[in-house]
Amino acid sequence: MKGIGASDGIAVGRAKRLNAEETVPAYTVEDTAAEVKRAMAALETAQQAITALLNGGTVQAETTPILEAHREILADPELWEQVKQEIESTSQNAERAFFDVLSMYEQMFAAMEDEYLRERAADMRDIRRRILRVLQRGGAGIADAVEESGVVLVAEDIGPSELAAYDATQIAGLITGVGGTSSHSAIIARSLGIPAVVGVGAALAKIADGALIGLNSTTGEIIVNPTAQQQADLEEERRAFAARQQQMAQFKSRPAVTREGDTVRVAANIAGTKDAAKAVDVGVDGVGLFRTEFLYMDGSNFPSEDEQFAAYREVLQAMQGKPVVIRTFDIGGDKPLSYLPIEESNPFLGYRAIRICMDRPDIFKTQLRALYRASEYGMLEIMFPMIATVEELWQALAMAEEARQEVGAERVPLGIMIETPAAVWMSDVLAPLVDFFSIVSNDLVQYTMACDRTNERVSYLNHYFQPAVLRSVQHVIAAAHRFGKHVAMCGEMAGDKALIPVLYAMGLDEFSMSAARVLAAKEVFSQLTRAEAQALCEKVLAAETGDEVKQILGVH
């Protein structure tokens, strides 16, 4: 069977099926005060269990921010207040109250368009499962017992704190029915070096408890009860994989350099201050995208200037003098705020990002002031999202200058994200006004092809191999270079090994991607020549269909 390879590696082991079913008793309580006290005790026990994991010395660096985020959610007064109100207003038991409140958050995240945010639904399930087990079992344990080493965990879903609670030396692999490469469980599996295949779907039912499993998470393939020959083949693949990992490690300390000696800037996209350590570890040249909306989504009100300043200062210092491009908040669309309700029939084409900033200068100026205050602690660059008109850019630049003067900061580079067709075809007018462009391939595809990325019926349109998208990218780069302006790309397209030569030939100045893709990208550059890339680019730009582009690039 096939799934999504979420953590590369080869494994053979016995399946251990996990019972992830949640039994949620529902009954009426007479003493709501006592039930509220019971709920509070469960919250405290769950927090203590995560603290014990963090303090145990076995948690990997990539896992720490995830568990810290879970602990913060459990300590959130708003969560506690909602559960308390649920118990008091309905007289229902603590299990049901927690289930209803956390399920609401899970559904909210699951409905989001952004893959990274959509995967946060799994975190809500993980926290809910932990609390339910505390309430029902009377203890803090969440992981099932593993009696032997070399097992392959099999579950419809597994929460990140549950996976982190296992002894990684006993786990040969992981298979789940749901999930994707950006889920927190996938991140933890990668940090622990556990091969993982996720998103197997209904085929998961074919794996019996105790069955011998062969797993190649590099290709996403799973073999149930492999033959002796298949086991021998997997062992050979495992040795080859280990050798390749050792070879890839050499690129950590090297810049991205082509065969002809041209150095290319490779940066990382990060979603929080803790991600900076991983970016530094793989030897990036800076941060091409720091998403700030998580500061807004983690609380019950707009973050203060001091709270934002502290977060921006932390990431600037963590990057050790390398440039950090921080995007002003991209709220709306798939990132709603509970304290800023927006009711729209088509939120992706509505009131979001820079449009909110223009309408709410009080919120925008608070962020800009925090950014400029933090600028003295590193190489800050500020980027405005969702620009569609020159007038929007004029207004954003004017507000940025006001904030800069108010805090007495030095000037920093200012740029815009190119994600709308309007910005693409006005790029020659926009370029003289800013210091850099950053092309957002994911949104550029959605808006160029007029396709909703959450709608499976138009998924055939939703890919960046479309000729219209590629020609738009070429146009933007050429327009910016006429004015001597730097062009980066911070969408998934920048880390696609098949397209890296094409983008290099187009003249893209900076490739910003997830830290997990950096070493593979450096390897691609090390094998690249300008002439080869140019020849490939010419073929791609002459193609008339997306399928033709894929065929040229050898993409299936």
- Catalytic positions, written as ranges: 184, 490
Q: Strands 196-198 and 171-176, how do they pair?
A: parallel
Q: How far apart (Å, rounded) are the C-alpha atoms in residues 336 and 333?
A: 7
**Which residues does 103 contact at the CB level (< 8 Å), separation at least 6?**
124, 128
Distance CA 212, CA 227 (A): 10
Contact status, residue 146 vs residue 171, Cβ threshold 8 Å: yes
Is the CB of residue 25 less than 8 Å from the CB of residue 155? no
Q: How many whole angstroms separate alpha carbon 282 and alpha carbon 388?
A: 35
Quote the tokens at residue 508: 């893209």
Task: Report the SS3 class of residue 1.
Answer: coil
Question: What is the identity of the amino acid at 540?
Answer: V
Q: Are 199 and 180 a contacting pair, CB within 8 Å?
A: yes
Report how far Cα 244 is from the mean position of its chain's Cα atoms: 25
Q: How long is the chain?
A: 556
Dihedral over Cα of 129, 514, 277, 191: its sign: positive
Contacts of 444 (CB under 8 A, 6+ apart): 418, 419, 420, 424, 464, 469, 472, 473, 491
Q: What is the rounded distance in angstroms from the CA atom of residue 29 to the CA atom of residue 33? A: 10
Q: How far apart are CA 408 and CA 387, in angstroms?
A: 27
Other CB atoms within 10 Å distance of the CB of residue 428: 14
E strand intervals along 29-157: 151-155
* Amino acid letter, residue 489: M
CA 44 – CA 66 distance, rounded (Å): 18
Greatest extent of the chain over all pairs of C-alpha atoms, in Å: 78
Q: Which two tokens stand for residue 20?
A: 């992830």
Amino acid at 57: G
